Structure 1
């Protein structure tokens, strides 16, 4: 499978690239990042060079003809790009919306279009939109969380992310089986060599688990439209157990 990882130089994206390069069923990794994607530590550089296709872009909402050419033949996309809640106040709201919602849908449409002649109902393009634990598609539902009601910006953010989810799902439903979309909602992603944080009411998940679960889903098919934190942990550990890595 040819896999596109959007946000390949981010925290989760870097781990996705590492695991994808090591996975025998992934033949090439298109690493879309705002800076050059390097071969992660622990990966044989010669083998990785044959699989890794780095693309540097400062605007994930616009893709050149050369980039579109590289997207051809992709079997799956994992979208990890977003302004995180921790950095929400560092960006204008319009930029938050563009990065977290508009670019995700624009890239999905571009990749779907360039692969329209190769995808089919029996082999659809699989697209994962990595969202967040508290994200809701209905504002009234989100407002049931009393803590979030006291944070208007965060409330707007999680509803906006919910709208991004819905737009991606709706696009897939209108694709006549050529595109499948799954939403992943991990909790607080932790990892080695990174300060561990905590958020009341939000469960932890290791970065290796987030990456492994999403790779498992794009390779073998989506078990449901929305995969929560517990689902991701379960899927990752089951995959490791099957490969003797438990």
Structure 2
């Protein structure tokens, strides 16, 4: 399986990249981003691309892939809706529309989040925009597309969030993680499980297109 990964320098993307590189069935990973990951691996190829609104100039590099794991995202904190929409919706759909044209047999997996608003009408700005993005992606003629809605994601294997406030939060929460997992198992996952669940869905499919946190953990448990 050949995989394209967006957002490989973010916390979730780092975890997904790690699982892809460890998986013997993954032949190649193309990491697409505005900056390089800094990693070196025989399976890893990198495409540094600055204009995420237009991928026409790099189409040749995006052809011949079986799956796309789209982990690119930003925190909505302090952002105007117009700016958040540009990064969350416009960039995602620009990539997805290019990829479905070049790789119609591709499985596309998008990282959204618990609480995403499929009606696009709710009061939460981020949830509306994420919902709009999910809805648009599911209309594209990919072989399959799945929307991942993880809850609280525990970073594993030395992975850290690129967002300072999240890093601080995870550091504070780390001693409480076993207790939180015991009290709220349906809300907790980790970077390993997200990556393994994506690989499972790309290989074998998933029972539904909108995958909440328990669904993600279930898929990860059956990864092979």
What is the match of residue 87 of structure 2? 99
The match for 1:164 among 125, 129, 133 is: 133
User: How far, CA to CA, are the matches of 2:196 and 2:171 in structure 1?
Assistant: 21
What is the match of residue 126 of structure 1? 107
User: How far, CA to CA, are the matches of 2:199 and 2:67 in structure 1?
Assistant: 9
From the superposition, tell whether residues 20 and 206 of structure 1 become closer, same or farther in structure 2 (CA, over 3 Å): same
Give TM-score, length-normalised by structure 2.
Answer: 0.82
CA RMSD of aligned residues (A): 2.2
Structure 1 residues 67-106: aligned runs within 5 Å: 67-85=58-76, 88-89=77-78, 91-106=79-94
Contact between 1:137 and 1:163, CA under 8 Å: does it hold in 2?
A: yes
The match for 2:53 among 50, 54, 61 is: 61
Q: Which runs of 5+ in 1 are unaligned?
A: 40-44, 143-151
User: How far, CA to CA, are the matches of 1:186 and 1:166 in structure 2?
Assistant: 17
Measure how far apart 1:30 and its partner are.
0.6
Q: Which runs of 5+ in 2 are unaligned?
A: 159-169
User: How far, CA to CA, are the matches of 2:5 and 2:215 in structure 1?
Assistant: 21
Contact between 1:77 and 1:127, CA under 8 Å: does it hold in 2?
A: yes
Q: Secondary structure at the match of 2:222?
A: helix
From the superposition, tell whether residues 204 and 185 of structure 1 become closer, same or farther in structure 2 (CA, over 3 Å): same
Q: Quick check: which has more Rg, 1 or 2?
A: 1
Deviations 1:122-176 (A, max 9, x none): xx21001110101011256x4xxxxxxxxx5xx02101110110001112xxx3x
What is the match of residue 216 of structure 2? 232
* Greater RCO structure (CA 8 Å; 6+ sep): 2
